Amino acid sequence: METTPNNRSKREWEKLQANAGNGLLDRRAFLRGGAAMAGAMMGYTFVGSAAAEPLADDAWSKAPGNIVPAYGAPSRFEKNVVRTLSNPNSEPRTSHARTPHHLLNGTITPNGLHFTISHAGNPDIDPDKHRLVIHGLVKRPLVFTLDALGRYPMVSRMTFVECGGNSAPFFSKEPIQASVQALHGLASCAEWTGIRLSTLLEETGVDPKAKWLIAEGADAPALSRSVPITKALDDAMIALYQNGERLMPGNGYPMRLLLPGWEGNMNVKFLRRIKLVEQPAMSYYEARTYAPILPGGKAYQFYFLQEVKSFITHPSPGMMLKEPGFYEISGVAYSGNGRISKVMVSADRGQSWAQAALQEPVHSKAFTRFRVPWRWDGGPGVLQSRAWDEAGNVQPTRAQIVAARGETTKVPPVTGFPSQHYNGITTWAIERNGEVKHVYA
């Protein structure tokens, strides 16, 4: 059991695969090591050596199972896999529901777990009564029903949506002890299907004077945001489907503006109006919430991109490593600028780095799952991930972000304080007892 096929000792073999300090292994170690690597894993017993008879018949193996429902729901044993709610009693204020990244894997966020921010609850929209109007600086103003939209050619794409205020706790002077769900839960990724906005603008025609559009929702705040016409003609979409089914009520049913890679707030849900104009509207959200003051006194306004970012989901705070041995470090990386090109992982507070494997296919402006094998020796460890995108951007350190944008002693997000667009490195400390803690490097 202690030797590999080429007769090296397990420890020697591990050393051969070492890629960076404190036990990080080569991302191809599983492919190269095969059975030897598996033999070094913890957590299973061998048939024959185990005391219990393998494959004893439990009750579910002896009788017919439950009814097969018309619409499926997860196993009753998965009840803890839920979003966390900031406004469970629906008081008159913003409701946040955060994605449990630590309980998911892969790159797609299931619809029931996609994060939601609704500033006045989710409207109960009758799709037959809903209309989308495109007017302003167009040649032919048009009104679309959902049925009419359904007859246009559709496209599907993977993309993430991330609130500009996601990860706001990282602007706090002291690291806030919370789960990855609490810290980074306002970002999710889905396959969206709908009609390119450019297709509809071909129908209406665009007056050359039009430089912006104002998108408006049908919910009570009539949330509106100004969007440059260049984005509208690039990859903007009127999304009708989310992971194959109609949009969830919390994600914009029956239609939303999808601006791949751009600030969540601009992805107007319950979309009812697109008005082409010459100047931005200076609407509430672009003039107030998404215009925090920079250390130099200027407003940080009209920045649209969600820039290159990554964080480790496994392991993450709240988890316990039960014993030393092999673990897979994994997480998500994404960039509003395009594809992720590289993710590096460190287990020694950034002194040395190992390249992580990227799960194929790597989609532009979408979650990319990265993985790297790690042998935890039981000592302290400090885990970090750092992502690069195909446009050559690299994820900044927290110190770099704080130098440019400031930090706060209040608990972010606080209007007027830095709280927007944190894409710096996240650091998890592994303590000797196996606990995972949030720290600053």
Ligand X SMILES: Nc1nc2c(c(=O)[nH]1)N[C@H]1C(S)=C(S)[C@@H](COP(=O)(O)O)O[C@H]1N2
| Residues within the interface to ligand X (CB under 6 A) | 114-119, 161, 163, 217, 219, 223, 250-252, 264-265, 267-270
Min dist. Cβ of residue 112 to ligand X (A): 12
Nearest to ligand X of 269, 398 (CB atom): 269
For residue 170, the one-letter residue type is F
Min dist. Cβ of residue 27 to ligand X (A): 31
Min dist. Cβ of residue 257 to Mo ion (A): 14
Nearest to Mo ion of 14, 162 (CB atom): 162
Binding stretches for Mo ion (CB under 5 A)? 117, 163, 264-265
Nearest to ligand X of 215, 387 (CB atom): 215
Element housing 291 (H / E): none
- Binding partner of residue 269 among Mo ion, ligand X, none, CB cut-off 5 to 8 Å per kind: ligand X
- Binding partner of residue 358 among ligand X, Mo ion, none, CB cut-off 5 to 8 Å per kind: none
- Which residue's CB comes closest to Mo ion? 163
Q: What sign for the dihedral angle of Cα 199, 203, 204, 210? A: positive
Element housing 51 (H / E): none
Nearest to Mo ion of 196, 269 (CB atom): 269
CA terminus-to-terminus distance, the chain: 39
Question: Residue 171 in contact with residue 406, Cβ under 8 Å?
Answer: yes
Rounded CA gap, 373 and 18, in Å?
10
Question: Residue 194 in contact with residue 238, Cβ under 8 Å?
Answer: yes
Min dist. Cβ of residue 285 to Mo ion (A): 8
Question: Residue 172 in contact with residue 236, Cβ under 8 Å?
Answer: no
Nearest to Mo ion of 97, 383 (CB atom): 97
According to DSSP H, which parts of 18-145 are helical?
29-33, 35-40
- Binding partner of residue 310 among ligand X, Mo ion, none, CB cut-off 5 to 8 Å per kind: none
Min dist. Cβ of residue 203 to ligand X (A): 23
Nearest to Mo ion of 163, 213 (CB atom): 163
For residue 441, give both structure tokens.
């490097």
Min dist. Cβ of residue 163 to ligand X (A): 3
Beta strands in 106-264 (DSSP E): 116-118, 132-136, 142-144, 155-162, 187-196, 212-217, 224-228, 237-242, 245-246, 256-258
Q: What is the DSSP letter of 203?
A: H
- Which residue's CB comes closest to ligand X? 217
